[in-house]
């Protein structure tokens, strides 16, 4: 039976990796080190999914280039010095299942290349992905360029591509690229925010994705 989708593209932080607390703590420590106002957890978690530069400018829109660069450098220090993040339960099993079922898998993330490559190596997940794109290689979400690049490289059109993510930035990117999208509500943004972007579904566990894909085949 022909699959509805050939390519499944995953966001990383908040979708496959439980990294919210580490990102928030790293940013709060950075702001404290630089004698800047330490922002509340809720404000910082809201920008998870954007590229680092874009996230900082959304948090501190009036900061100049020198401050921006200082924040980037110090944040990376904290993030890479201690990285306790773990994949969500069942994430690897889902990737392995979809890979063995013949889906092309990819990552489109707000992480930088250094960070993604490091965590792909530490988790062993790199074996599952045909392509990856990071925010420091192209436009940050919600711009569609990451998805467009992945589809172009893998030669899969938008109608055969599914984006999976936990933020409205993921779903807005999918809408702009004219791909299908599924939200997951266990990450950063609420189900209500995700549903406002009109995904095909909103799942409460990554482990629900294989069954959802099977149901899509059966109802196509």
Report the share of the chain in percent with pLDDT over 70: 97
pLDDT in tens, 158-204: 999 999 999 999 999 999 999 999 999 999 999 999 999 999 999 99
Q: Does 65 qualify as catalytic in the annotation? A: no
Report the share of the chain in percent with pLDDT over 90: 91
Residue 1 banded pLDDT, cuts 50, 70, 90 = low
Domain ranges of the chain: 7-18+86-219, 20-81
pLDDT in tens, 120-161: 999 999 999 999 999 999 999 999 999 999 999 999 999 999
**Is residue 82 predicted with pLDDT exceeding 90?**
no
Which one has a higher pLDDT value, 156 or 2? Answer: 156
Give, in order, the Cα–Cα distances in Å from 117 to each of 35, 108, 121, 128, 206.
Answer: 31, 13, 6, 13, 22
Q: Does 11 qualify as catalytic in the annotation? A: yes
Question: Choosing from 11, 18, 46, 149, which is the catalytic residue?
Answer: 11
| Domain at 7-18+86-219: CATH code | 3.40.50.1000
CATH 1.10.150 fits 20-81, yes or no: yes
Matching CATH topology for 7-18+86-219 and 20-81? no
**Is residue 220 predicted with pLDDT exceeding 60?**
no
């Amino acid at each position: 039976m022909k699959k509805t989708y050939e390519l499944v593209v995953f966001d990383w932080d908040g979708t496959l990796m439980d990294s919210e607390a580490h990102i928030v703590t790293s940013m709060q420590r950075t702001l404290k080190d630089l004698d800047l106002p330490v922002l509340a957890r809720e404000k910082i978690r809201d920008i998870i999914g954007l590229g680092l530069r874009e996230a900082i400018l959304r948090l501190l829109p009036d900061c100049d280039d020198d401050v921006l660069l200082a924040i980037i450098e110090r944040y990376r220090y904290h993030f890479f010095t201690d990285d306790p993040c773990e994949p969500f339960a069942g994430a690897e099993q889902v990737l392995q299942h979809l890979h063995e079922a013949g889906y092309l898998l990819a990552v489109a993330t707000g992480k930088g290349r250094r960070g993604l490559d490091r965590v792909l190596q530490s988790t062993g997940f790199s074996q599952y992905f045909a392509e990856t794109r990071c925010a420091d290689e192209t436009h940050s979400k919600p711009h569609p360029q990451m998805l467009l690049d992945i589809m172009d490289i893998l030669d899969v059109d938008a109608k055969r591509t599914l984006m999976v993510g936990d933020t409205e930035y993921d779903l807005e990117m999918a809408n702009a690229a004219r791909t299908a999208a599924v939200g997951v509500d266990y990450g950063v943004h609420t189900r209500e925010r995700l549903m406002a972007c009109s995904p095909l579904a909103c799942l409460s566990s990554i482990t629900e994705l294989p069954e959802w894909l099977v149901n899509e085949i059966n109802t196509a």
